[in-house]
A and B are shown apart, each in its own frame.
Chain A
Amino acid sequence: MWYLCVFFHRLLDYRKAEVEALAKLFGAFHGEEESFHSLEWKLPQHHHPDCPYHFVNLPSEQIASNIAKRSILVKGIYELWGEGGSYEELEEAIKSYPDDLKAPYMTSDSTFRIIVDSFGNSLTFQEQNERILKFAFIPFKGKVNLKKPDHKFWVMETDNSGSNNGLPPVAQKRIFFGREIGTADRKLLPTYQLKSRNYLGPTAMDAEMAFLMANQALAAPGKLVYDPFVGTGSILVAAAHFGAVTMGADIDIRVVRDGRGPDCNVWSNFKQYGLPMPVGLLRADNNLPPWRPGLKEMFDAIICDPPYGVRAGGRKSGGRKLLKGVVAPYTVPDDKRIGHIPSTAPYSLAECVHDLLDLAVQMLVMGGRLVFFYPVLSEDASSESSFPEHPCFSLLAVSEQILSFRYSRFLLTMVKTGSYTEEVAEEATKMHLDFKENHLKWLEEGNLHSAVFCPNDLQTDVVKESRSNSDPSRKYRGKYV
């Protein structure tokens, strides 16, 4: 059945991906193969794909309602009773919508209200009332109840005056009338916003994004979710909110163990919201994970924001040896072993992602999800971007967040579709050795920091101009809000 799905005008690239992940969580793809996890979508007439109005095909109203309630970016999902370019056209459409579908929501013992909403401009109270009165032709038998109605009906119209919140103008005004099935609980966001959190690090994940990541990972009660770069726990907080059991690791022991005092550490971030603490936090190196041999398929999801060297650089074990470029024996004197703080070496993005995929393919259950951010420089993004690949994973969703003119980060959602065989393990070991031997080379290649922060000289402006001339169909970058 087709539903009208209206989004908040935010994080445009993340909206459909979120609905599809939640559709999976609530059983919309029951019995289908892991790799087919996309829904059917349609756009209203003359609408730009970035606009907030979409039609989506979902198997049942229950699933639609569950999706809307759990989502962050869905403003509401509606049963569409009619749409049109004008109120006259809309009236005709509503009248021709089958009566047996309308009748259950117009009974004399139920209450209702009509809410007016518009995209692109705001309507005064009087204008809203005028619009509501236009629907007097609908034979509602029940009473109006503004506070707690049984059924909510929405009139939603698009604005046709010029530019549309940074979107290309919609050619023709469209008005929708529908019955509300579910709306998002955005109240979560002020509760979890970072500025009220006790313990923060420089790269703490924004609450809204953390919830989107947890949704992509299908976090739910009974599932074990792992973050190998846990930091202050900002991503796991979102997973724990949805009931998942959490576990995290970080190479920096000061972050996970000490924090900033007894009530300002990773644990307190969970306590603050009354969430269950992670069942495991440890200091470990993603490059040399301390898992026992034979341990596999432990986690239902791995969610993380790997350090890619822009705001925080990755570190791995084995500092001095690697810096000297020789694997000569470096030994810690016996009397210094207690309390010795091992030095660490920089960790290139390529190696970090390789290790992450290798860890994920071993430690995820079949059908388990790997959700992580991956940075891409804008220069590369105009051509076909290439994302990390692995024979055991299928890429389900790619959502871009533009961070600056220079670079974007992409949230990648992968699902494990192949098991960890000996060949896969062998391949990974080979690559692991290559990274070790050519440490310096990999570091130079993956230096994102200098690419993002290098001074903006004339040359890049020339390049920019020539590109916009030669490629008029360049990816649309509107006012992302």
Chain B
Amino acid sequence: MRLLTHNMLSCNIKGVTNGFPLGLEIVKHEVKEVEFNSDFIRNMFVKIEWKALVDAAKSMGYEELPEEVDSSMLESDEFLKRFHHALLELHLEEGALVCPETGRKFPVVKGIPNMLLNEDEV
């Protein structure tokens, strides 16, 4: 699971109002290279919850992202490269996503998060 996916997901258990961002429980993570496309990265910039991305990247040991951003930073290739790396190349292979409200764990196995809810959660 890349952090792009993490940035899009929340806990959707019935009644949960504050299911974002999901905490990361990391058992195994790796870096998987993805071809850089600056248009794609620029497009994603406005859609991303920045703080959630920074925190998630930190929990994977990547601390090169600035805490505060504005769109003028998109001029910098260096920034785009870092953003690209954090968004698309950091990969959670084994672990779990943890709901900030209920503590419910969504397992991540072989890089695929299981967001399906149990019968009593829908």
Contact = CB atoms under 8 A, between A and B. Distances in A.
Contacts of A223: 40
A117 to B, nearest CB: 39
B4 interface: yes
A292 B8 contact: yes
Contacts of A277: 32
A224 B2 CA distance: 14
Contacts of B35: 276
B11 A279 contact: no
B37 A245 contact: yes
Interface residues of A, number: 42
B28 interface: no
B12 A329 contact: no
Contacts of B120: 329-332
B31 interface: no
Interface string A229-265: 0000000000000000101000101001110000000
Interface in A278-305: 279-285, 288-293, 295, 297-298
A342 interface: yes
B27 to A, nearest CB: 15
Interface stretch (B53-61, B64-72, B74-82, B111-119): B111-119
Contacts of A258: 110
Contacts, number: 107
Nearest to B109: A257
A187 interface: no
Given A224-B40, A321-B119, A342-B117, A289 B112 contact: no
A222 B32 contact: no
B112 A222 contact: no
A425 to B, nearest CB: 15
Q: Which of A285, A290, A332 has the most CB of B within 10 A?
A: A290
Nearest to B42: A222
B49 interface: yes
Contact of A342 (B4, B37, B112, B116): B116
B1 interface: yes
Interface string B27-45: 0000010110101100110
Contacts of A292: 7-10, 19-21, 49
A280 B4 contact: yes
B1 A282 contact: yes
A317 B116 contact: yes
Contacts of B111: 281
Contacts of B21: 292
A291 to B, nearest CB: 6
B37 A290 contact: no
A288 B118 contact: no
Contacts of A284: 115-116
B88 interface: yes
Q: Which of B1, B37, B109, B120 has the most CB of A within 10 A?
A: B120
Interface string B93-122: 000000000000000011111111111101
A148 interface: no
Given A288-B12, A329-B120, 16 more contacts: A222-B39, A222-B40, A222-B43, A245-B37, A277-B32, A279-B88, A280-B2, A282-B115, A285-B117, A290-B10, A290-B11, A290-B115, A293-B10, A297-B47, A317-B116, A332-B118
Interface of A: 221-224, 245, 247, 251, 253, 256-258, 276-277, 279-285, 288-293, 295, 297-298, 317-321, 329-332, 337, 340, 342-343
